[in-house]
Amino acid sequence: MMPPKGRERCQSLRPDILSNLPHNVIDVILIHLPCKDAVRTSVLSKKWRYHWCRRTELTLDESLWKTREDLLNPTVRFREIIYQLLTLHEGPITKFTLNIVHLKRCPEIDNFIFFLRNHIQDLVLHLPFGKRYTLSSILFTCSQLRHLNLHSCSIYHPSAFEGFDKLISLELCGVSTSSELLESLISHCPLLEQLVLSTTEDLDRIEINAPMLRLFSFTGDISSICLKNVPRLVEASLLGDIEQAESLDFAKIFESCSALEDLSLNFLNSEFVAEEGYEVPTRLPYNLNNVKQFYLPDILLVESYKLSYVLCLIRSFPYLEYLEMEVCDEDDSDTDEESTEESLQPETLSDLTFNHLGEVQLGSFIGRTSEMQFIKHLLANSPVLERLVINRQFLDEEPLDTREEIFTENGRVDKDYLKYRWQPNECNLPRFDATEFQKKLKGKQMMFVGDSISLNQWQSLTCMLHAADPQAKYISKRIGGTSIFTFPKYNTSYLMYRNAFLVDIKTENNGARVLELDSLSSAAQWKEMDVLIFDSWHWWLHTGRKQPWDFVQDVNSTYKDAPRLTLYEKALNTWAKWVDSEVDTTKTKIFFQGISPDHDNKADGHPSVFGHGGHRDLDCTHWCLAGVVDTWNLLLSALLG
């Protein structure tokens, strides 16, 4: 029996799932869409039409200014957008973000802030980097604010301002105001828990009066800060320049920081000067007993005012448990302090004890006398120290015999793994002939570009070439971020350029670090090479403290973050376009190294527990030398013909 005509068609129709979604589910979907895409959902069905008009969160960025005319007249375009919002939007807007840092100038936004003022709780205004826009005092009538984030503008609150009594986080970067008004603003936020200040302006001393503050980050003249009333502060970061050593008074800066647990201090490359006879206090007049972690991203281990201030603090942290130091190179300093600084003296450290220190991380280690001296003192005066991690990534600039002397023994007792050679499946590689390899590259330059995996392979290759002719003269040097190993006999150079992302990370005037997905400023140096080997992967996955950027710039769009595979793909597309358009592959050979995956430990292949300076953690990312990486160079040799 045949079904009634049309029944089969009716049964094949699927329910309209999108139209039947509950309103609250649609709201959640819309909140997670960019503003432009949210508006486009009106075409999905009647139920979705203008549903976006009830969104409580809106973001406007530079993608809305498409044409040259828009960019030249940003206020006209902004007025059109705001008119549509005001005409169609229903209900309150509680969160609004305006990110237009790369526009030529700022559109008029005060009228829209007036529209937002009664309900806005979270306001983010990242305005153009050029001439600062002066925000109207209307901003200070937004009584419901809980989060305020302002970049590149000027603010002047009225004398009648009674405060933001609901504000819990405040971020001011590149914001022009007076010290008095800044003090007043902070003190009129009784619930403030997070405060981020970044300024290049010369300010008078600013007293921070914020009894509920828990996190404080400051970039600028550190000597201008006084944490006057912050009894709940647990985490602080201070980054900036100091000109006059006498102006820095840590006793006043930390006078109410009894709850402080984590401190990061970076003096940058400022030159400390002082009147003759000035001495830095050996310790604070009080102890900060709750400080457990101390980060020093850039410190010279030489006799200097900077080091004296650091040691003053360490002596005042009797319960310190974790110390992380990035030791910078005197040769890279662009100050004139070299003339007055001396090598680290034993008596400088003599009264320094670390009775509770459990872990130390040392970066940029190259085996200087001062570094070895400091390490020996640590080991002798840290009775509960369990973990000492030394990052040896810059050790490559030292002579090979120095490296062998420092790192010959990390604690591994078996040597059998040195007698074996790694062999690829279904591929019978010839033995490595260093002389033939050098002849192939005579008068040429080979560069590795990437992260520590590239460094791993570069170290392997230079060691293999040197081991084949240990009496041959070589020149090892480092210029900026490039390490160079040259064999004059063959006029061959092997270079290592550290760039984990291939694309650029640039620092703006306000201190913001921007990952520029469409920029390759290093490429000019790459073009001079005869052989290029690239890699990039591991660092794309880092977040939090290890993430080296604050914003991402993609052509004309700037945003905080995105799925890492998406960012990785965009960066590789930029690199690939450069290769296609700029490299003559008949003269320059290009290789992409691929990804060395993280996986279970192979004790005969990975440094394992004997990596990271011989300490008890599993390094399953890098490879032993000699080992697998040597095989990579055998493959490279075969590919070069």
Q: 3-state secondary structure string, 260-271?
A: CCEEEEECCCCC
SS3 527: coil
The reported pLDDT for the residue numbered 165 is: 93
- Report CA dihedral (39, 40, 44, 45) to the nearest 10 degrees: 40
The length of the chain in residues reads 641
Spatial contact of 464 and 630, defined as CB atoms under 8 Å apart: yes
Place of tokens 């009538």: 141
Place of tokens 């034993």: 346
For the chain (length 641 residues), average pLDDT per consecutive 10?
A: 46 58 69 66 64 75 64 64 71 87 78 89 89 89 94 86 92 90 92 92 85 93 89 92 72 92 81 69 91 86 78 91 79 40 66 87 75 80 80 54 44 56 74 92 95 87 89 85 91 93 87 89 90 91 82 87 91 94 91 70 57 52 70 90 81
Spatial contact of 572 and 502, defined as CB atoms under 8 Å apart: yes
Query: What are the CA-CA distances from residue 530 to residues 443, 448, 475, 585, 622 (Å)?
Result: 10, 11, 19, 9, 27
The reported pLDDT for the residue numbered 128 is: 85
Which DSSP string corresponds to 84-118?
HHHHH--S---EEEEE-TTSSSPPP-HHHHHHHTT
The reported pLDDT for the residue numbered 340 is: 39
* 0.75 exceeded by pTM: no
CA 102 to chain centre: 21
HEC string of 144-205 equals: CCCEEEEEEEECCCCCCCCCCCCCCEEEEEEEECCHHHHHHHHHCCCCCCEEEEECCCCCCC
Q: Tokens at residue 329, please?
A: 């190179």
Q: Reduced to 3 DSSP states, what percent helix, strand and coil does the chain have, rounded to the nearest 5?
A: 30, 20, 50
SS3 533: strand
Spatial contact of 202 and 221, defined as CB atoms under 8 Å apart: yes
The reported pLDDT for the residue numbered 374 is: 83
Main-chain dihedrals φ then ψ at residue 24, nearest 5 degrees = -65, -30
**How far apart, in whole angstroms, are the C-alpha atoms of residue 176 and residue 173?**
9
Q: How many CB atoms neighbour CB 247 within 10 A? A: 14
- Output the CA angle 493-499-503, nearest 5 degrees: 120
Place of tokens 């009797």: 318
Spatial contact of 40 and 46, defined as CB atoms under 8 Å apart: no
DSSP secondary-structure letter at 504? E
CA 14 to chain centre: 49
Main-chain dihedrals φ then ψ at residue 498, nearest 5 degrees = -80, 110
For 608, residues 6+ apart whose C-beta sits below 8 A from its C-beta are 601, 602, 618, 619, 620
**How far apart, in whole angstroms, are the C-alpha atoms of residue 244 and residue 221?**
11
Q: How many CB atoms neighbour CB 377 within 10 A? A: 18
Q: How many CB atoms neighbour CB 291 within 10 A? A: 25
* CB hemisphere CA count around 614 (13 angstroms): 8
Which DSSP string corresponds to 542-554?
--GGG---SEEEE
Main-chain dihedrals φ then ψ at residue 544, nearest 5 degrees = 65, -135
Q: Tokens at residue 585, please?
A: 């592959």
**How far apart, in whole angstroms, are the C-alpha atoms of residue 45 and residue 18?**
8
